[in-house]
């Protein structure tokens, strides 16, 4: 399957249920993969693919819009925004909180979603 990916996008976000998490933004690391149409490789035009610069900007903007208690909810929110704007056939999203506990490097989630089929008339 064809895809475009972004790895290691660092963003500041207000996310978490604990008081220490709500007191200040935390650094998140986001990896995202978006399914492309096979048409993307048949031309040399940006209009036939997904513009990764726009995806990065949309993720950064969306993460900063509000506080989320759960990474799972933030992930669903981001996936909804990315499907709506970029027309990907599927999305795999990984969100990691960096250094939240001394004994682990990262904690986080991985979500994978297929675009829902449009209802037939």
Residue 97: what pLDDT? Answer: 94
Residue 101 above 90 pLDDT? no
Of 73, 108, 115, 74, nearest to 94 (Cα)?
108
Residue 45: what pLDDT? Answer: 87
User: Long-range contact list for 76-81, CB < 8 A, 24+ apart?
Assistant: 76/111, 78/30, 78/32, 79/111, 79/113
Confidence of residue 96 (pLDDT cuts 50, 70, 90): very high
Residue 112: what pLDDT? Answer: 98
With respect to residue 35, please indicate whether it lies within any of the assigned structural domains. yes
Residue 47: what pLDDT? Answer: 87
List Cβ neighbours of 116 (8 Å cut-off, separation of 6 or more).
Answer: none
With respect to residue 31, please indicate whether it lies within any of the assigned structural domains. yes
Highest mean pLDDT among 12-16, 83-87, 92-96: 92-96
**Residues above pLDDT 90, as percent of the chain:** 69
**Domain containing residue 75:** 3-110
With respect to residue 37, please indicate whether it lies within any of the assigned structural domains. yes
Number of structural domains the chain divides into? 1
Residue 24: what pLDDT? Answer: 87
With respect to residue 120, please indicate whether it lies within any of the assigned structural domains. no
Neighbours of 7 (CB within 10 A): 10
Q: Which two tokens stand for residue 27?
A: 């650094």
With respect to residue 121, please indicate whether it lies within any of the assigned structural domains. no
Residue 118: what pLDDT? Answer: 54
Q: Which two tokens stand for residue 117?
A: 């089929």
CATH code of 56's domain = 3.30.1130.10
Over residues 17-31, mean pLDDT:
90
Distance, in Å, from the CA atom of 10 to the CA atom of 60, rounded to the nearest integer, reads: 9
């Amino acid at each position: 399957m064809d895809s475009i990916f972004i790895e290691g996008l660092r963003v500041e976000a207000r996310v978490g249920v604990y008081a220490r998490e709500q007191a200040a933004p935390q650094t998140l690391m986001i990896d995202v993969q978006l399914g492309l149409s096979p048409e993307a490789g048949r031309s040399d035009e940006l209009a036939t693919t997904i513009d990764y610069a726009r995806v990065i900007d949309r993720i950064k903007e969306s993460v900063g819009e509000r506080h989320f208690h759960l990474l799972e909810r933030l992930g669903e929110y981001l996936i909804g925004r990315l499907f709506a704007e970029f027309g990907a056939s599927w999305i795999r999203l990984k969100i990691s909180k960096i250094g939240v506990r001394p004994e682990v490097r990262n904690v986080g989630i991985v979500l994978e979603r297929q675009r829902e089929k449009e209802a037939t008339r």
